[in-house]
């Protein structure tokens, strides 16, 4: 099955989707969009990666555009002000680089380096301005992202975002221990951990600066809004597991829904793939129902006041972007060089990572 890519060229090209990974409902019912700022976004994020020394210049030149990190964000946060989308895209690129450092610290067994980085990120999250010139580019780049993201929203949003990301850092630490000790979590343990390592609530939080309004707690926590948000993120996490299963088996990973199903439920590889697909498809059908209820909830917030009208419009914008997440995640996995394991010289070592002793300084 093919679709037309809007990735790194202005001319659409056919992108093959393997039958085992194709989701006709996404291609038919979730039309893809890209923020009009995307071409500039790609250029500026590439420059930011270089300026912050987050990737070596040769890696940026050869791989940055093909990794499609900016495409993923430009397909999600539609309607965001350009400067907000730029900050989100740079932060997202940082997140992928952090994920790669975490992986290399595990592969090369560098627990001291990981521990230092973990504590530094916690500190930078709480006081980013004090870490803008940190010696570790990963810490300085993170601090830069946080200063920019925090500037768009009130202190209450910033505190919530920080609380959510502190939990993500600690989840990465649990993943570090599991992988270095060879512990494969049970399915339920894995699903709970995955919601944190995939940063479900971080990407959901970022819908609000994109809509230019912090949502009241009662709105964010309303079952209609929260269920739509959760299903959009669960789809992304589980579809990622489906697509990255070969990469993670090659890298002796222990964190993948398929790997937990094989280890703890006794499924074969083929059965595990079928079960992940079933869960992914359930997320899609569940979201279509949740989306309708969330939009009805948005309509109910328009109570005739200016404030009610603003909140209702922001909720609609957030829910529409939850929908955009499905198509953006789907095509990202078929366009990004991050998942093209068969093209790598070494299936356990991504060609775009710095495989040296980063973080040991």
Beta-ladder partners of 5: 13
Token couple for 328: 């953006």
Work out whether strand 2-5 and strand 13-16 pair parallel, antiparallel, or are unpaired: antiparallel
pLDDT 10s digits, 42-93? 999 999 999 999 999 998 888 888 989 999 999 999 999 999 999 999 999 9
User: Are 97 and 54 within 8 A, CB to CB?
Assistant: yes
- Does the annotation count 326 as an active-site position? no
Residue with the two structure tokens 């930078």 = 124
Q: Annotated catalytic residue: which of 32, 46, 95, 332? A: 95
Q: Annotated catalytic residue: which of 195, 316, 323, 338? A: 338
81 inside domain: yes
- Does the annotation count 161 as an active-site position? no
57 inside domain: yes
Give the angle 144-88-228 at the CA atoms, nearest 5°: 140
Per-residue pLDDT at 356: 63
* Segment 217-235 mean pLDDT: 97
216 inside domain: yes
Per-residue pLDDT at 358: 47
Q: How many domains does the chain have?
A: 1
Query: Rounded mean pLDDT of the chain?
Result: 91
53 inside domain: yes
pLDDT 10s digits, 308-348? 999 999 999 999 999 999 999 999 999 988 877 767 777 66
Q: Is a pLDDT exceeding 70 seen at residue 237?
A: yes
Instruction: Dihedral sign for Cα 25, 12, 350, 37, please.
Output: negative
Q: How far is CA 83 from CA 77, 139, 150, 356, in A?
A: 12, 21, 12, 33
353 inside domain: no
- Does the annotation count 198 as an active-site position? yes
Distance CA 38, CA 311 (A): 27
- Does the annotation count 95 as an active-site position? yes
Domain range for 73: 24-342
Q: Annotated catalytic residue: which of 176, 198, 235, 332? A: 198
Residues with Cβ within 8 Å of 273's Cβ and at least 6 positions away in sequence, in order, are: 20, 242, 245, 258
The DSSP symbol for 361 reads -
DSSP string, 121-138: HHHHHH-GGGGTT-SSHH
235 inside domain: yes
pLDDT 10s digits, 291-312? 999 999 999 999 999 999 999 9
**What is the CATH number for 59?**
1.10.600.10
Per-residue pLDDT at 10: 36
Three-class DSSP category at 224 = helix
- b (16+ CB within 10 A) / e for 315-336: bbbbbbbbbbbbbbbbbbbbbb
206 inside domain: yes
224 inside domain: yes
Beta-ladder partners of 4: 14
Q: Annotated catalytic residue: which of 30, 46, 96, 332? A: 96
């Amino acid at each position: 099955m093919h679709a037309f890519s809007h990735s790194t060229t202005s001319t659409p090209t056919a992108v093959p989707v393997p039958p085992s990974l194709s989701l006709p409902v996404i291609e038919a019912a979730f039309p893809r969009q890209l923020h009009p700022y995307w071409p500039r976004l790609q250029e500026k994020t590439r420059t930011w990666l270089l300026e912050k020394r987050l990737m070596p210049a040769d890696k940026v030149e050869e791989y940055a555009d093909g990794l499609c990190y900016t495409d993923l964000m430009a397909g999600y946060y539609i309607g965001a002000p350009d400067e907000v989308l730029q900050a989100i895209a740079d932060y997202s690129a940082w997140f992928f680089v952090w994920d790669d450092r975490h992986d290399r610290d595990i592969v090369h067994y560098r627990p001291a380096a990981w521990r230092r980085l973990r504590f530094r990120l916690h500190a930078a999250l709480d006081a980013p301005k004090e870490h803008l010139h940190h010696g570790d580019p990963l810490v300085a780049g993170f601090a830069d992202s946080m200063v920019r993201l925090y500037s768009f929203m009130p202190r209450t949003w910033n505190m919530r975002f920080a609380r959510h990301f502190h939990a993500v850092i600690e989840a990465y630490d649990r993943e570090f221990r599991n992988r270095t000790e060879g512990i494969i979590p049970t399915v339920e343990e894995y699903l709970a951990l995955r919601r944190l390592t995939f940063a479900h609530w971080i990407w959901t939080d970022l819908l609000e600066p994109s809509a230019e309004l912090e949502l009241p707690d009662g709105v964010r926590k309303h079952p209609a809004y929260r269920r739509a948000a959760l299903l959009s993120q669960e789809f992304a996490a589980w579809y990622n597991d489906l697509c990255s299963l070969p990469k993670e088996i090659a890298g002796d990973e222990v964190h993948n829904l398929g790997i937990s199903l094989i280890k703890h439920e006794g499924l074969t590889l083929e059965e595990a793939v079928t079960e992940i697909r079933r869960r992914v498809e359930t997320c899609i059908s569940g979201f279509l129902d949740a989306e309708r209820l969330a939009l009805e909830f948005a309509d109910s917030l328009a109570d005739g006041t200016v404030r009610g009208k603003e909140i209702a419009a922001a909720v609609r914008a957030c829910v529409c972007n939850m929908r955009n997440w499905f198509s953006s995640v789907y095509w990202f996995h078929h366009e990004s060089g991050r998942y093209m394991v068969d093209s790598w010289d070494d299936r356990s070592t991504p060609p775009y990572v710095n495989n040296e002793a980063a973080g040991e300084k």
